[in-house]
Structure 1
Amino acid sequence: MNRFVVVDLETTGQSPVKGAQIIEVGMVRIHRDKMIDQFSSYVKPDHDIPNFITSLTGITNEQVRDAPNFEEIAEYILDFIDEDDYFVAHHVEFDLGFLNDALKQHGFRTIENRIIDTVELARIFEPMAPGYKLSHLAEHMGIVHQNPHRALSDACVTAEIFIRLMKKVKTLPAETLEHLYRISGKLKSDLSFILSDLTDEKRFSLEERKDLEIYRGLAIKKYTRPLTTERHVPCTFGELLDDTFNEQGLLSTHLNQFEIRDGQRRMSEIIFDAFIQHTHAMIEAETGTGKTLAYLLSALYYAVYENTRVIISTYTTQLQSQIMDKEIPLLKKIFPIPFNAALLKGKRHYLSLNKFEQELQKPIDEDNYDVVLTKAMILVWLTETMTGDVDEIQLPSSGKIFWKKVNAEADLHIDPKSPWFSKNFYQRAREQAQKADVIITNHALLCTDLTNDYPFLPPYRYAVIDEAHHLETSATKHFGLQVDYVSIQYLLSELVDLAENHRLTGTLEILEYIQMGKERADELFSYLYQFVLNSCEDHVTSNDVGRLQYVFQPQQIDCIHDILELTNRFLSSLKQIEKWLLKIMDQSFDDEQLQEAIEKKRDEIFSLMEHTENFMKYDGQKQVKWIEIEATGAKNAVYLYSEPISVAPLLRKHFFDQKESVVLTSATLTMNDSFTFMQNQFGLSEEQVMARKIPSPYRYDRQVKLMVPNDLPHIKYDSEKDFVEAVSQSIYQLAQLTQGRMLVLFTSYQMLKKTYYALKNMMMDLEFVLIAQGISSGSRSRLQKNFQAFEQAILFGTSSFWEGVDIPGDDLTSLVIVRLPFDPPGHPAYQARSAFLKEKGKNPFMNLALPHAVIRFKQGFGRLIRSSTDKGVVFVLDQRIISSRYGKYFIDSIPDVPVLKGSIQKLLQEVKDWL
């Protein structure tokens, strides 16, 4: 019978090489799925505990002053861990490495036991967990964590997680365990013996899981197709709203903190009216309205009542999933009529079981760790998922490359004769969409469908566009193009592998053409690189990540004939490659996978030719084209971009004019109470659209104060160095009054970095945790969770942090907006759109730059107050909001709040008195 010892250490730092030492040890022994023994002790280090470690763990210098030295407890640690025990830890390499380093330093034998890493174990056997930090797993499994970052408490929680994971492993079928056993040799954890024993047990067991089916050696979740039933609408829409939104209504019985919001009902009514009247609508629903439930309720009722279909589109796939996982189950409980809702994303989001089976059958010799881990995760995930949607799991970094091989996009043709056709996740999603009353999709897929000959989405006439301020961005991206040197070389190298590995007809000849294509790509892109580098400074700008940008206007370039000649030489090579691929495609192959790979490469070569040719063409003022180069990078590090100058006519022609009613909603659609800017962006006239504004239920006048220091350097007239220094000092002083709990928003990543490092030096002796986008590792949601996990934290963000960050309660009490969020005036797209507006007799600043900035400012402002009990301050460190003529547009576009101006010291006193 296997026995396990779970170990957790608290240390003064991350690396013993840099002098970090153990300050606490916690150990728990497990036998027969029970904790049977434990040990814990403080350890006295040779130096003081750093402040941030005390802040994190609560362990002080006083607590360890009389504790034993490590060598005094080393023998006890070694006695506690028998040589046959598994050494278990959360991030086992850290704990075992640290412990062995200390043992070696003090002359003791090291621990050479078999190991299990509970991070790895959780990733494999809880593939749908929201995160793999100890706290995230504990919350996910409903385990109470009494004293986080204390050794024994962490060890006990790790032990409980381990016990539950091992119980789950025992429920898996033999087929899954066999596959896991075959690849387990490349994992960190020594799972081979455990998996082998369990597989043998399962082979002789008569127990079968009724929720699974075994198909071609894979265990997958059984799927039940949605039923279509006759439906009777038992009430009017008004009656449904009465039953839903009153104090004793349907929502109040299913939501713990339900509050009646007049705006929520009003929004539902407006959307229903727009559908009934077959008109488009724009609804600005301010923070706290509850817009998601409002639009879902109207969309569902109208879809069922009229026996039609309504599309719900969001900007991110994360919000799509949130609606499907949170709001739809709630509506299933309260909606008086049975309904079907479906989630539909692009093909690359869905697993291809056909491709995954092929990859599983390959030897794992050349697979790296991340690929093996990803295979293991997917094997277990298949016993749980009904959708095959990759957003349900968190793939390791190299696992995302493996996913490209096994997603549905890798399956060019879905052959009805394929053994996996009936189990195809992407086809399943489309089938569900065909039968759905509402389909939840995203802007990218919606825009792709607008001009697609073979649409992903079923036909529809009604739509609700959430986060509608992003629709123009998504459409611009869809109707634009990008070509870059690295992608071209990667594509051509893949073709070399394809030709050589399969010994295709004419391989020697085509390898010459591919090599010629590589050389000619290098010639073209090296020439473009040098051209941009040598161009007059008046024509070249620099973006935030240090790339040089050049607006490409073929008719104004002296050396355009040289560029076009090099382009034609490159295209000529691609044409030869395409001809060879077409010739190969006419042959018949026994290997279906090879046939698909050849067809895919032909499509990619054709697309590359088309994009390159279109970029070099002069097409009047329809497109803005620009070249970006890595100024300090390789001499061919070149990117070609093209975007429509305006997508308004395209959106109107391909979308709005094709639909009966489209409802556009967001918290930020107006500037100074006017919808004009966004209407123009969408190509809609005032007569075409019903425009309404739903005010927030929050009492901003009581919950927020807006403060503008008037004695800081002016961003426009003073040096950036002085400005950054003043910003850092202001944040430093404010943070001490608010105990951190601060979000700082930047418009420039360079300024974020400079401020972060300045504050890091200032706060070295203080117990603040600084978390910065692009510096601290992790996604936006991960950084947000880390921010909320610490008592005194400051979160620095740019771009994506201006919206989508939701931190209610006391975790966030201050918001700092460093600069008004104007787009960079030197960006080629902005320059082209400005010129376009000037030609039409319009002011580019008032009709483009200012509205964009005001809407972004509103998004940033909305980060602070996320509930009716929140309270906080907003500091705007850009004096232009009070000193410029246009500053009032920013202030007038947010809810009415007290605006305080004065010296930074005076305003800090106001904060102290108020908070």
Structure 2
Amino acid sequence: MINKFVVIDLETTGNAPKKGERIIQFAAVVIEDGIITEKFSSLINPKKTIPAFIEELTGLNNEMVKNAPLFSEIAPNIIPLLKDAYFVAHNVLFDLSFLQEELLQAGFEGFYGPVLDTVEMARVLFPTADGYKLSDLAEKENLLHDRPHQADSDAQVTAELFLILLERLSLLPLRTLRQLEQLSGGLKSDLQQLLDEILIEKDKNIEKLPETIEIFKNIALKKHLVSMEVKKDLKQYQYPVNEEEKIDMVKQGFEFFEKRTGQFIMMDGVFQSLLNEHHSLIEAGTGVGKSLGYLVPIAFFAKQKDLPIVVSTHTIQLQEQIIKNEIPLLTRILPFTIKSVLLKGRNHYISLEKFSQSLMDENDNYDTTLTKMQILVWLIETETGDKDELNLSSGAIYWNKIKNEPTVFKLNQDWHEKDFYLRAKNAAQEADIIITNHSLLLSDLSGERSILPEFDYCIIDEGHHFEKVASQFFGHSLDYLTTRLLLGQFGLYEQKLLFYKMEDLLASMFLQKGDLVQTFELNRMVIDLSYEMDEFFKLMAIYAKVKSVHKKGSNRFKIRFSSEDQGKEKKALVISAERFAFLLKDLHSAIMARLEWIKKEKESLSNEQKSLIEEILTFLTELDRLRNNVQDCFTKETNFVRWIEMDSRSPQNVTTFLARPATVATALVEKFFNVKKGVVITSATLTVNKSFDYIIKELGLDPGSTTQMMIPSPFNYQNQVQLLIPEDLPEINKVTLEEYVIAITEHIITIAEATKGRMLILFTAYDMLKKAYELIKESGFLNDYAMIAQGITSGSRTRLTRNFQRYDKAILLGTSSFWEGVDIPGEDLSCLVMVRLPFSPPDEPLTEAKCQLITQQGGNAFSDYSLPEAILRFKQGFGRLIRTEKDRGIMLVFDKRIITTKYGRAFIKSIPSVPVKKGNMDELVELIHSWL
């Protein structure tokens, strides 16, 4: 058994050792018997110039390595370290390939012992981590990582991380370890050898499982504990009427309680809305405490009436915040126990039976193997079985195989009690508060069997998104990659039938009565279908390109698919769509005919055969859904707005066809608002110029019977914010994009130097963001600032925001999703820049269609739609700057239309009253210095 591990980290001049790139810094940390026993590090003279980007990344320059030893001089120190040891690194193949090359060039033997990769191990052992970069994992495990991208610091942190991973492995149940060991032969490192050694040690003792874990059907799971509710006196459920009662109750949840009058007003508004069975619109400014403002009254109402209340949000972040932060707080506050549950669509939940069955599959690819290992570890942690908890960077195809969905063959009854979907559904039947998302809430309207129990009362948080989500829900979309992926699955079924030695099943499906022609017919149909799919998306791209001749300066564009168009490109596309739909129907019918015999043979099928038939039937369901989508988009008469989105650099692969209703107001009224007794729609941004008219119209609500409440933010914006408008910038609509970007880039550099970074810059288009980012980089003026840009710097919005907060001098550039939902309190964000007012482009298909509809109905498209929509986005952007009563900040708007047009005043009137200063940049910089 090997008890020695050598953790290595290198800094290099590039990525390719075979192309002459060299090591510039080497570091090793030796671990023996679970303790760090030795460290070694050295700078190395690479005998070549260090590239500028490597110098920027590592902080190592040519001067620092000029008098450092050559690699051949330190190699004799390295070889004894590696003797009889595991070679460990974060992304081990990179470090190993460089070290091997250098050792061989120096005339020494290479390293040929076992290797371990902490990236691979972390993926398996931390399946729910946000990211697997060394800095992400160091932050997660509270490890000090003061000099990222310097070998000695990276090696130390990797060693500390590795010890945590070893400890994690040692605590896994024996059953899980054995399953991981069986799968780990397919990994890039020698984790299997390490697992073998751990299992030999573990087998020497009798295992005692922790109380929180059970073994069920050969899989280790976290035990599900059912909490018993203590029934209380009905008097406990009396809603607190006066302020004193509310204070006595709410302060139970806080160590330091601070009264929020706005929150109490909101509580009363929500309670009255439910009690009197009417709909309400409540705009609650930042700092009101909106979540608790509705959770407290709905908890009392749910208990009094013994009815469930649904809370719907747009983002996963808010759902998680409610479950992890607000519900525990609510539990401390209330004088009674409440039951709450988070509900998602059925295919968010894992099917344990399918997963168990899939563990028997062989010949998995790397991604599937890694995903199986992640899930085995996750199952001893998860209480929900919800895939959103997992970080599946690859493995999405595998998830489709094990997700929970209706089955033809009844589940083995033994699995029922462990089924996460059924558990969530049953919990919802018993719950007082059900938290879900807008999409699932709307799926209730489609008439399909819903996971939601019947409900009459609902809170719609992030309500400004509800209309857009409804538009997507009632609409359709087709994209090339999803379609291609679906059709590509068919070829796997023949291989699997042969692999499982299911010759009878293969014959029944593909040969039918031994007629070989049948096989060729089915395969020919698939070939024809694949050809027609390629042709269909090719013609879609041609149509879009022909129509986009006037669109310059952007590779990405949206093209309206017009009903009136009679051009040859449109005719060709519609004919191809009809052919494609016809072939989809033919394939569906042909496979279904070959599966007819299953109805008679159900009992004689093995579990493997049943599992495979389920996969094929799921494929058929998806095939049918695709056909309906094609027909809805192309061959049915519709008043939907239809358009194509594509990228001219790779037209076919990123082409998407979308169809959306221009307005959803009528559908929402008929199917939702007229059916429910009490709906409260809330958000920090519902009003335009102190009026709810716009949102009322968009949702189709009756203004006479809908209660409207505006609860202002408790923050002192007059003393917390300065709104600055530079007057020495060109009018955005009077110069080219390039000229405007050059002008704003100069201002951004000037402001960044004045504020020492801590800037969030909001763009309305990615092309402008990218050009500004490149110009700032080229200028070299902000080289000592961390530049983080959406779409350029990799990572999710959450990760980019977290990286931004990590640096003292940082600038974050964002588009669409950064205008809201980004929460950066305190001094991390001191300056917010809006590059232009957030109007939707007038030729954006849905905007164009909405404006046409308003004009046809005698309205003013600009004042009824374009302006209010832009103002709501502006308010959301403004809301990023001040998140607590102690925050202070500067907001700059580069778009002079805010002061040069009549409508510009409407933007300023819609945000809290703040001091507005105009002037040239030099004057404003002086003000920034004195203010901050």
TM over 0.5: yes
Partner of 2:561 in structure 1?
Answer: 551
**Is the 1:176–1:380 Cα contact (8 Å) retained in structure 2?**
yes
Q: Tell me which amino acid in the other structure corresponds to 1:78.
A: I
Partner of 2:464 in structure 1?
Answer: 469
Secondary structure of the equivalent of 1:394? coil
2:391 and 2:833 map into 1 onto residues whose CA distance is: 32
Q: Does 2:755 align with 1:760?
A: no
Partner of 2:501 in structure 1?
Answer: none
When structure 1 is superposed on structure 2, of 715-724 and 690-699 the one drifting more is: 690-699
Describe how 1:92-103 pairs up with structure 2 within 5 A. 92-103=92-103
- Structure 2 CA distance for partners of 1:532 and 1:374, relative to 1, 3 Å: closer
Aligned-pair CA distance for 1:147? 5.9
**Is the 1:52–1:769 Cα contact (8 Å) retained in structure 2?**
no
Describe how 1:447-596 pairs up with structure 2 within 5 A. 447-498=442-493, 502=497, 503=506, 504=509, 505=512, 506-535=518-547, 546-553=556-563, 565-588=575-598, 590=605, 591-596=609-614
Q: Tell me which amino acid in the other structure corresponds to 1:472.
A: E
Q: Does 2:880 align with 1:878?
A: no
Task: Select which of 643, 666, 669 maps to 2:686.
Answer: 669
When structure 1 is superposed on structure 2, of 2-11 and 795-804 the one drifting more is: 2-11
Partner of 2:869 in structure 1?
Answer: 852
Q: Deviations over 1:468-510 (max 9, x none)?
A: 1111111111100113455444433433543675431343323
Q: Deviations over 1:122-142 (max 9, x none)?
A: 221122334333343344334
Partner of 2:378 in structure 1?
Answer: 381
Aligned-pair CA distance for 1:165? 2.0
Task: Select which of 416, 439, 444 maps to 1:444.
Answer: 439
**Is the 1:554–1:618 Cα contact (8 Å) retained in structure 2?**
no
Q: Tell me which amino acid in the other structure corresponds to 1:236.
A: Q
When structure 1 is superposed on structure 2, of 191-200 and 892-901 the one drifting more is: 191-200
Secondary structure of the equivalent of 1:655? helix
Aligned-pair CA distance for 1:259? 3.8
Q: Tell me which amino acid in the other structure corresponds to 2:192.
A: S
Aligned-pair CA distance for 1:749? 0.8
2:348 and 2:292 map into 1 onto residues whose CA distance is: 26
Task: Select which of 435, 445, 449 maps to 2:430.
Answer: 435
Q: Deviations over 1:881-903 (max 9, x none)?
A: 11111111111111111111111
State the TM-score, normalizing by the size of structure 1.
Answer: 0.92
Aligned-pair CA distance for 1:343? 0.8
2:539 and 2:65 map into 1 onto residues whose CA distance is: 65
1:508 and 1:235 map into 2 onto residues whose CA distance is: 70
Aligned-pair CA distance for 1:450? 1.5
**Is the 2:307–2:432 Cα contact (8 Å) retained in structure 1?**
yes
- Structure 2 CA distance for partners of 1:530 and 1:86, relative to 1, 3 Å: closer
**Is the 2:464–2:686 Cα contact (8 Å) retained in structure 1?**
yes
Q: Tell me which amino acid in the other structure corresponds to 1:511.
A: N
Q: Tell me which amino acid in the other structure corresponds to 2:316.
A: T
Partner of 1:393 in structure 2?
Answer: 390
Q: Does 2:103 align with 1:87?
A: no
- Structure 2 CA distance for partners of 1:27 and 1:259, relative to 1, 3 Å: farther
Aligned-pair CA distance for 1:613? 2.3
When structure 1 is superposed on structure 2, of 96-105 and 723-732 the one drifting more is: 96-105
Partner of 1:367 in structure 2?
Answer: 365
Aligned-pair CA distance for 1:523? 5.0
Q: Which runs of 5+ in 2 are unaligned?
A: 498-505, 513-517
Partner of 2:404 in structure 1?
Answer: 408
Of all paired residues, the percent bearing the same amino acid is: 40
2:889 and 2:22 map into 1 onto residues whose CA distance is: 40
**Is the 1:510–1:580 Cα contact (8 Å) retained in structure 2?**
yes
Aligned-pair CA distance for 1:755? 0.8
1:231 and 1:293 map into 2 onto residues whose CA distance is: 22
Q: Tell me which amino acid in the other structure corresponds to 2:321.
A: Q
**Is the 2:478–2:657 Cα contact (8 Å) retained in structure 1?**
yes
Aligned-pair CA distance for 1:526? 4.4
When structure 1 is superposed on structure 2, of 504-513 and 756-765 the one drifting more is: 504-513
1:528 and 1:871 map into 2 onto residues whose CA distance is: 50
Partner of 1:288 in structure 2?
Answer: 287
When structure 1 is superposed on structure 2, of 322-331 and 337-346 the one drifting more is: 322-331
Secondary structure of the equivalent of 1:205? coil
**Is the 1:313–1:463 Cα contact (8 Å) retained in structure 2?**
yes
**Is the 2:776–2:782 Cα contact (8 Å) retained in structure 1?**
no
**Is the 2:556–2:645 Cα contact (8 Å) retained in structure 1?**
no
Q: Deviations over 1:518-572 (max 9, x none)?
A: 44445555445444444596xx868965235133215866887766555444333
Partner of 2:630 in structure 1?
Answer: 612
2:119 and 2:257 map into 1 onto residues whose CA distance is: 37
Q: Does 2:663 align with 1:646?
A: yes
State the TM-score, normalizing by the size of structure 2.
Answer: 0.90
When structure 1 is superposed on structure 2, of 442-451 and 241-250 the one drifting more is: 241-250
Aligned-pair CA distance for 1:578? 2.9
Aligned-pair CA distance for 1:272? 1.4
Partner of 1:687 in structure 2?
Answer: 704
Task: Select which of 578, 597, 608 maps to 2:615.
Answer: 597
2:445 and 2:616 map into 1 onto residues whose CA distance is: 28
- Structure 2 CA distance for partners of 1:20 and 1:768, relative to 1, 3 Å: farther
Q: Tell me which amino acid in the other structure corresponds to 1:509.
A: E
- Structure 2 CA distance for partners of 1:512 and 1:117, relative to 1, 3 Å: closer
- Structure 2 CA distance for partners of 1:334 and 1:64, relative to 1, 3 Å: farther
**Is the 1:541–1:550 Cα contact (8 Å) retained in structure 2?**
no
1:273 and 1:247 map into 2 onto residues whose CA distance is: 19
Q: Tell me which amino acid in the other structure corresponds to 1:668.
A: T
Partner of 1:225 in structure 2?
Answer: 226
Secondary structure of the equivalent of 2:254? helix
Q: Tell me which amino acid in the other structure corresponds to 1:136.
A: D
- Structure 2 CA distance for partners of 1:817 and 1:202, relative to 1, 3 Å: same
When structure 1 is superposed on structure 2, of 848-857 and 47-56 the one drifting more is: 47-56
When structure 1 is superposed on structure 2, of 607-616 and 495-504 the one drifting more is: 495-504
- Structure 2 CA distance for partners of 1:47 and 1:726, relative to 1, 3 Å: farther
Describe how 1:25-44 pairs up with structure 2 within 5 A. 25-41=26-42
Partner of 1:913 in structure 2?
Answer: 930
Q: Deviations over 1:798-834 (max 9, x none)?
A: 1111111111122211111111111111122111111
Q: Deviations over 1:129-163 (max 9, x none)?
A: 34333343344334455666655454343333222
Secondary structure of the equivalent of 1:238? coil
**Is the 2:45–2:67 Cα contact (8 Å) retained in structure 1?**
yes
2:15 and 2:903 map into 1 onto residues whose CA distance is: 50
Aligned-pair CA distance for 1:654? 1.2
**Is the 2:522–2:587 Cα contact (8 Å) retained in structure 1?**
yes
Q: Deviations over 1:100-125 (max 9, x none)?
A: 45545555544444222222222211
1:847 and 1:542 map into 2 onto residues whose CA distance is: 29
Secondary structure of the equivalent of 1:750? helix
**Is the 1:530–1:635 Cα contact (8 Å) retained in structure 2?**
no
Alignment RMSD: 3.1
Q: Tell me which amino acid in the other structure corresponds to 1:877.
A: F
Aligned-pair CA distance for 1:201? 3.6
Partner of 2:907 in structure 1?
Answer: 890
1:735 and 1:326 map into 2 onto residues whose CA distance is: 35
Q: Deviations over 1:14-44 (max 9, x none)?
A: 6768987656554332222222333345556
Q: Tell me which amino acid in the other structure corresponds to 1:382.
A: L
Aligned-pair CA distance for 1:72? 4.7
When structure 1 is superposed on structure 2, of 655-664 and 2-11 the one drifting more is: 2-11
- Structure 2 CA distance for partners of 1:215 and 1:759, relative to 1, 3 Å: same
Q: Deviations over 1:783-807 (max 9, x none)?
A: 1122222222211111111111111
Secondary structure of the equivalent of 2:397? helix
Q: Does 2:340 align with 1:341?
A: yes
Partner of 2:853 in structure 1?
Answer: 836
Aligned-pair CA distance for 1:601? 3.0
Q: Which runs of 5+ in 1 are unaligned?
A: none
**Is the 1:281–1:662 Cα contact (8 Å) retained in structure 2?**
yes
Describe how 1:644-793 pairs up with structure 2 within 5 A. 644-763=661-780, 766-793=783-810
